[in-house]
Amino acid sequence: MADITVSREDQASVRGRRVRSFISLMRRWPVSSIVIISLLVFTGIFAPWLAPEPERFGEIRNSFEKPAILGGDSRFILGTDQLGRDILSRILFGARISLLISVIVVVISGTFGTVMGLISAWYGGWVDEIIMRLVDGINAMPIITVALVLAVVFGPSFGLLIFILAIGSWPGYARVVRGEALVVRKLDYVASARIAGASTPRILFRHLLPGVINVTVVVATLSLSSVILAEAGLSFLGIGVPAPTPSWGGMVSDGRDFLTTAWWVSVFPGIAIAVTVVAFVLLGDWLRDRFDPRLRQL
């Protein structure tokens, strides 16, 4: 009898330890973010093989099919939209578009912003003044209205969408990188490099850049989430991703007129946006705390 009690206690303590180590793992690593983002990247890359139905075509007779999880046609797990297109397939392809656009935007704006920040910090004086006033000026411009203006002049397109989002996000990098580079620039090793006769580009990219790359990565992760949100907003307005290509924002907009009869058309893509953004925000927060707690106020 006594033996059994002891072994139960042992089991309980083992389970307790496991739970505790699981919690500390969750605290130390943003596990949920990493899982969600890996899933997204996976579905984004393999969308054509994963999607059960074609994403751009449907049959009208299948329109507004209920989600299978609520007792609809078993072919359409998340139901269909007004044109009979499978919502799940469109969400999978939407992940591809959303991630592709945001990654391109982050790479372009991150590179440009970082270079501008380095130049601003290195040269100082009127160069710094001009770049920083430009940064202020762009921050003072509401990005959605800029997008509206450019859409009326050029018409919505992928190129324009990427341009607008990149224009809106490079100042974030420039400002943070400049602040960081101003500190690094005064360090002894930079002075030594200068005395040794290193050229300006060499100092900027070989000596300053490694010192500021941490903050660039943090800003990039945080900015991924806001770029995804902005892209969704513009696509929702009809001035983002052009029509037949599935985008999450556009899908939410598609379902707007059918809320009474088919709520799933809008609701599921919205969940996809929210979950993705949360994942990137949490990952960004974690990276920020890990790399540089001083950035907390960002």
Which residue ranges make up the site for another protein (CB under 8 A)?
Answer: 133-134, 136-137, 140-146, 148-153, 155, 225, 229, 232-233, 236-239, 249, 252-253, 255-256, 259-260, 263, 266-267, 270, 273-274, 277-278, 281-282
CA pair distance 7, 13, nearest whole angstrom: 10
Facing residues of 80 across strands?
86
Residue number, 33 or 204, with CB nearest to another protein = 33
Residue number, 131 or 208, with CB nearest to another protein = 131
Residue number, 25 or 259, with CB nearest to another protein = 259
Q: Which two tokens stand for residue 145?
A: 């209205």
Element (H, E) at 175: helix 158-184
Residue number, 74 or 260, with CB nearest to another protein = 260
Q: Smallest gap, in angstroms, from Cβ of residue 168 to another protein? A: 12
Q: Smallest gap, in angstroms, from Cβ of residue 242 to another protein? A: 14
* Nearest CA among 182, 144, 147, 179 for reference residue 163: 147
Q: Smallest gap, in angstroms, from Cβ of residue 248 to another protein? A: 9
Residue number, 208 or 268, with CB nearest to another protein = 268
CA pair distance 241, 249, nearest whole angstrom: 9
Residue number, 133 or 206, with CB nearest to another protein = 133
* Nearest CA among 10, 213, 248, 234 for reference residue 113: 213
Q: Smallest gap, in angstroms, from Cβ of residue 127 to another protein? A: 16
Q: Smallest gap, in angstroms, from Cβ of residue 100 to another protein? A: 19
Q: Smallest gap, in angstroms, from Cβ of residue 142 to another protein? A: 4
Do residues 84 and 65 lie in contact, with contact meaning Cβ atoms separated by under 8 Å?
Answer: yes
CA pair distance 119, 178, nearest whole angstrom: 8
Do residues 44 and 100 lie in contact, with contact meaning Cβ atoms separated by under 8 Å?
Answer: yes
Q: Smallest gap, in angstroms, from Cβ of residue 268 to another protein? A: 10
Do residues 73 and 65 lie in contact, with contact meaning Cβ atoms separated by under 8 Å?
Answer: yes
Q: Which two tokens stand for residue 16?
A: 């307790």
Element (H, E) at 131: helix 125-139
Residue number, 212 or 262, with CB nearest to another protein = 262
Q: What is the dihedral sign for C-alpha 57, 58, 60, 66?
A: negative
